[in-house]
């Protein structure tokens, strides 16, 4: 307290100047209409700018909630897509009754760890067996195909990315539906992959879309990329194409895990077939 009094006494002239200056400004603005209007206009602009910055800060702080909400909404909408259903057709006495039944469901998840610069890349998502995730399920995002689930815990799962030397999925050209398989290859470029063993009759074009086929873990038509280079395999019986991936793996934040309601039944039947061979 003593130091404060000494400080005020030492600089009393300065404080008196401030008091008189502020008082004169208040009187000047209060009793002059033009200056008053100018002051109000200026303070309104400053206040509006401050409110705008505060609002932007609030929006930024709420981005996580907004992103989570959008991810849930994307999963809900995917569950309603026609591609998520199969047609159960019953023909009786020349009357065809077509019923759409859901085959695919989607579990939204957040990517909490991810790699793209190794020969074998994985990502970790915040969904596990407690949320219905099972090993072998396909994983996609809003841009396209991402990979498949390889390890599952109670609350977390590990996804083998498409950027993995052992990742291989059935794919097709979007226009003529010629089948091949997609793989990353050995170029270690996270933007490029290869569509291999496509029929030489396909006649693909540069820029043509490549999507998942009906023989993959995924619903048919999930975007994978676009053809960027054409190559003929030795012998001339098939084509290999370099493609540019639709997904930017360096920016993945949210994904959807695909629940195929027929997966277990299909796996059981195919296992029986292998035993009989």
Question: Domain with 207 in it: what CATH number?
Answer: 2.40.10.340
Alpha-carbon distance of 8 to 102, in angstroms, equals 79
- pTM value is 0.65
Say what the pLDDT of residue 210 is: 95
**Mean per-residue pLDDT, 233-260:** 85
CA-to-CA dists, residue 166 to 62, 203, 270, angstroms: 39, 28, 22
Q: Which domain holds residue 106?
A: 79-261
Asked if residue 65 belongs to a domain, the reply is no
77: phi then psi, degrees, rounded to nearest 5:
-70, -40
Q: Which residues pair with 78 in a beta bridge?
A: none
Of all residues in the chain, what percent carry a pLDDT higher than 90? 32
* pLDDT one-digit tens code per residue, 151-160: 999 999 999 9
Vertex 106: Cα angle to 105 and 112 (nearest 5): 160
Structure tokens at 92: 């009786």
Q: How many domains does the chain have?
A: 1
- Residue 242 resides in a domain: yes
The whole-number pLDDT of residue 90 equals 39
**Where does the chain have alpha helices with state H?**
2-10, 12-30, 33-61, 63-80, 263-276
Residue 46 lies in a domain: no
pLDDT in tens, 24-44: 777 766 777 666 666 666 665
Indicate whether 94 belongs to any domain.
Answer: yes
Whether residue 209 lies inside any domain: the answer is yes
115: left (phi over 0), alpha (psi -120 to 50) or beta: beta
**Cα separation, 147 vs 125, whole angstroms:** 12
- The answer to whether 195 and 210 have CB atoms below 8 angstroms apart is yes
User: Looking at the DSSP assignment, which residues form a beta bridge with residue 194?
Assistant: 183, 242
271 occurs within a structural domain: no
């Amino acid at each position: 307290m003593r130091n404060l009094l000494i400080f005020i006494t030492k600089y009393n002239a300065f404080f008196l100047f401030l008091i008189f200056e502020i008082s004169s400004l208040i009187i000047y603005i209060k009793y002059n209409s033009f200056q008053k209007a100018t002051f109000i206009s200026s303070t309104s602009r400053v206040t509006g700018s401050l409110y705008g910055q505060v609002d932007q800060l609030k929006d930024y702080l709420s981005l996580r909630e907004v992103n989570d909400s959008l991810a849930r909404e994307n999963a809900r909408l995917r569950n309603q897509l026609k591609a998520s259903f199969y047609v159960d057709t019953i023909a009786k006495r020349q009357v065809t009754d077509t019923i759409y039944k859901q085959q695919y469901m989607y579990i939204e998840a957040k990517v909490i760890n991810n790699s793209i610069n190794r020969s074998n890349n994985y990502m970790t998502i915040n969904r596990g067996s407690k949320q219905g995730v099972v090993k072998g399920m396909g994983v996609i995002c809003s841009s396209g195909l991402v990979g498949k689930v390889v390890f599952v815990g109670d609350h977390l799962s590990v996804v083998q990315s498409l950027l993995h030397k052992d990742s291989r999925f059935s794919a097709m050209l979007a226009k003529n539906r010629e089948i091949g398989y997609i793989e990353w290859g050995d170029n270690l470029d996270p933007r490029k992959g290869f569509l291999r063993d496509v029929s030489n009759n396909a006649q693909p074009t540069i820029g043509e879309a490549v999507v998942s086929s009906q023989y993959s873990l995924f619903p048919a038509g999930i975007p994978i990329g676009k053809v960027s280079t054409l190559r003929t395999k030795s012998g001339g019986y098939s084509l290999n194409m370099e493609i540019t991936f639709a997904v930017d793996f360096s920016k993945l934040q949210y994904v959807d895990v695909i629940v195929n309601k027929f997966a277990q039944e299909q796996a059981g039947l195919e296992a029986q077939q292998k035993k009989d061979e």
